Amino acid sequence: MRLGSKVRMRLSPYQMIGLSWLILMYKERLNAVLADEMGLGKTVQAISFLAYLQQQSPGWKYLVVVPSSTLDNWLRELSVWCPSLIVVEYRGSMENRRQTRQEALQDDGWHVMVTTYNIVASTPEDRVFFKNLHFKYIVFDEAHMLKNMASKRYSNLMKLKGDHRLLLTGTPLQNNLVELMSLLVFVMPHMFGKVRKSLQTMFEIIPKVGQESRSSYEAERIEEAKQIMSPFFLRRLKRDVLRDLPTKREEVLRVAMTTAQAAKYRQLRENYCQRGRRKGGWVMWFGMGIVGCLLRGDTKEASQSGVGMLMCMRKLANHPVLMRYYYDEDKLREIAKKFAALPDHEHKEEALVFEDLTYLSDFEVHKTCKLYPRLRCYQLPDELILESGKLAELDRLLPRLRAEGSRVLLFSQFVIMLDVLEAYLRIRGYRYCRLDGQTAVTDRLQLIDKYNNDRDIFVFLLSTRAGGLGINLTSANVVILHDVDFNPHNDRQAEDRCHRIGQTKEVQVIKLICANTIDECMLRVGQEKLSLDRDISGAPVGSEDQSEDPKDVRHLLALGAGVWRLTTPSSRTAFCVMCHAYSDPRD
């Protein structure tokens, strides 16, 4: 196999094996899922494969569909690895895309079109454009975004016309085997499309609470899944193919809350207990983390209660300023009065301003006051911003890491928590960069280059979702997860931004877990989810946009169940937010 001058850089031996496998699958007329662990260069292998195909027929067209956060990286890699491929960027405003459509149809000289999952079917014009194009190969990067067979995105992308499909994902299995089967149906629709319902029923295995081992039925399903996927999947792990890659050391730091924070957390728990009593329902708790509130009434109210309860506990475990304690009604009325008197806001009614402020957290009110000179006297004091168990732990960690010459990637799921961390870094005088979902796509690569090239920038603040996909930050060697994700694979994606090819130092991953809070329950849920991944691929523990799944909420609430409290003896029926059913806990 010769690529001649098409590919300008040298592939490693395992990447050559991956390229050979892709060529074999192409010759056998089979679609493929390249599922190498994150950091092994799936993008490079895919580009080398496109270069090979271009040698076979220079007139073939290819479509690459990627998350918006990785688009610029793909364009860069294409220009570096195979500049002979003429690339069209399909992104931007509706007017920009209209112009790109006209140019692409008039000039037939291009080879590869790169676009995003959000754009490829966002408007009728986009859908008609792609419907009229036929591609030799369609490449889907971060293909775990196709894990939901019932989603509109899945059905729209199924309609793209291409002779072959290549899926790239470092996390083919995230929650259950049905997601894995979704990828199989997508990659081989002619083979599996007609039996998708049967596959969904057969492989609907979800990690069980406190499960020590698989049942024989589940073990059989896992073995069947391995047999079905093996002809179409290629997955290698870093520990097997990158012998010289520095190790990744993981550490879970159980952090004590500050005294004031712990008192607020206990009060929050008690408030939910009282709410359960008023509703005539049931309450269950574990340690300092309330894990269940069973309300009588309709299922919607009970389910929303569970999700809202979890979110409040997560916020308080992260930092009290994510709730509202500092700004009481008197302070808010003072702020509302002065805000309504501002020159640009005379038309605002003071009562409405006050009402709006009551829906904000302490830090959101702080950010509002910071915008207006006349309101800056109401900003949060620095000592209150620093009043958090996790920030106290950062005070112990960061000076030591900087003295050792380490550089840090600091992740959080919440944009508002990134705002708090940004304020913390300013107070402590650390230089930093920041990237989250609100960062313009065109600015992301510049930020990454800035951090990689300027060693005086100590910390890179990133959101777990936006900063965890397709980004190379090997100039850092420490990853701190300020808060863990419902989906542990999102955390693993984040960890592997620096544990990948090009890393020369040992990578340290630190998870900050607030002791005796919902954090510990979430960590355990994540470990159980990863166990299924290990059963399928042998991956070591701790790698579409997923938010809190109702099943995750019920699972999380079920963890550590300690005490059921009967609050209304005469009411023997309650709705359970864990199982979405009416039951009597005494049975």
264, exposed or middle or buried, with CB in 10 Å at 0-12, 13-18, 19+?
middle
Contact predicate 177/221, CB 8 Å: yes
Fold equal for 13-241 and 245-315+388-587? yes
Q: Which fold has domain 245-315+388-587?
A: Rossmann fold (3.40.50)
Structure tokens that stand for 169 in this block: 């994902």
The bridge status of strand 32-34 relative to strand 233-234 is parallel
Angle (deg, nearest 10), helices 124-131 and 94-106: 20
Cα–Cα dist 541/525, whole Å: 13
Which tokens is 58 given? 């220079």
**Domains of the chain: which residue ranges?**
13-241, 245-315+388-587, 329-379
Burial of 226 (0-12, 13-18, 19+ CB in 10 A): middle
Fill in the amino acid letter for 5: S
Q: Which DSSP symbol is given to 91?
A: -
Taking the CB of residue 100, how many other CB atoms lie within 10 A of it?
A: 18
User: Within a 10 A sphere around the Cβ of 9, how many other Cβ atoms?
Assistant: 11
Number of neighbours of residue 498 by Cβ within 10 angstroms: 27
Secondary structure of residue 374 in the 3-state scheme: helix
DSSP bridge pairs for 433:
460
Q: Which CATH number fits domain 13-241: 3.40.50.10810, 3.40.190.10, 3.30.70.580, 3.40.630.10?
A: 3.40.50.10810
In terms of C-beta distances under 8 Å and separation of at least 24 residues, what long-range contacts does 124-133 make, across chains too? Answer: 125/94, 125/97, 125/98, 125/101, 126/97, 127/156, 127/159, 129/101, 130/63, 130/160, 130/161, 131/159, 131/161, 133/61, 133/63, 133/161
Q: What is the pLDDT along the chain (587 residues), one digit of tens a residue?
A: 455 455 566 888 999 999 999 999 999 999 999 989 888 889 999 999 999 999 998 889 999 999 888 888 899 899 988 888 999 999 988 899 999 999 888 888 899 999 999 898 888 899 889 988 999 999 999 888 887 877 888 888 888 999 999 999 887 776 667 777 788 888 888 877 666 666 666 666 554 444 445 566 666 766 777 777 778 889 888 888 888 888 889 999 999 999 999 999 988 888 877 766 665 554 444 444 444 444 444 444 444 456 777 888 899 999 999 999 999 999 999 999 999 888 876 667 889 999 999 999 999 999 999 999 999 999 999 999 999 999 999 999 999 999 999 999 999 999 999 999 999 999 999 999 999 888 887 788 889 889 999 999 999 999 987 765 667 888 999 999 999 987 788 888 888 888 888 888 999 999 999 998 888 888 887 777 776 666 655 444 333 334 444 444 444 444 433 333 333 333 333 333 333 333 333 33
